[in-house]
Amino acid sequence: MLCSNCSRPVRPVVALDIDGTLAQYHKQFVTFAATYLNRYDELVRWLTYDGAKEMSDFMELPKETYRQIKLAYRQGGNKRWMEPFKEAAGFVMLVRELDVELWITTTRPWQRLDNIDPDTQEWLRRNAILHHGLIYDEDKYHRLVEIVGPDRVVAVLEDDYEQYLIAERLGLHPILRRTSFNRRVPLPGRPVEAMTFADAYALIEQAVNAWKKEKTDA
């Protein structure tokens, strides 16, 4: 088992995704896309995206156009003022009070000539998302395991089912955050789901208590 700072007691780790989990990425992105393309007539329909198909297909946009919009969205600093889900900050505060090490894990591309890191840091600051560690990586859960080890990670909260499956294969006890934007994502398995932050907190609290009991009894 690894510790992040060996001068301190080893604590369980909880990892939280940002886009679609703590922040309303899909809502802001389609609103931006409508403005970018001057397609306000499509906004109401685009806001009904439910994850049943790829977003570009749902929006009926060519892949290249969709990629151009995503690049403009990222470079425009939009992630700095993305609307958080209601109660996200309170949820994070409650999780921290469980005496855990809380990591923010995102696939946002950090090593690029843009403002991903400062925009992310500012979003976390202005929304009072206090954390102990922050990971940017396409393989974020593999990176998390490299840093803290798999045995300390008691829960991962994630809205992307593909990322959920990666975390599951690594033994990181993922919880699928359900929202209106992923309510119809095809699920071949039977994931652990949280419909609300209260649901997620209850699952995380149970996992933290079980981990601490196991270490106490060992």
Instruction: Report CA-CA distances (Å) from 45 to 30, 53, 126, 155, 208.
Output: 10, 14, 30, 34, 41
Fold of 13-24+86-217: Rossmann fold (3.40.50)
Best CA proximity match to 177, nearest among 185, 169, 59: 185
Average pLDDT over residues 111-139: 88
Residue 74 has pLDDT above 90, yes or no: no
Residue 113 has pLDDT above 50, yes or no: no
Domain ranges of the chain: 13-24+86-217, 26-80
Distance of CA 199 to the CA centre of its chain: 16
To the nearest whole percent, how much of the chain has pLDDT over 70? 93
Matching residue, tokens 């119809």: 184
Average pLDDT over residues 58-80: 93
Residue 154 has pLDDT above 90, yes or no: yes
Residue 72 has pLDDT above 70, yes or no: yes
Average pLDDT, the chain: 93
To the nearest whole percent, how much of the chain has pLDDT over 90? 82
- The runs of H, that is alpha helices, within the chain are 25-37, 43-46, 55-58, 63-75, 88-96, 116-126, 140-148, 161-169, 197-217
Q: Per-residue confidence at 8, pLDDT binned at 50, 70, 90? A: low
Does 5 or 39 have the greater pLDDT score?
A: 39
* Tokens linked to 20: 């679609």
Average pLDDT over residues 171-175: 97
pTM of the predicted model as reported, rounded to 2 decimal places: 0.92
Average pLDDT over residues 52-67: 96
Phi then psi for residue 154, to 5 deg, are -100, -20
- Is 154 within 8 Å of 127 (Cβ atoms)? no
pLDDT score, position 188: 85
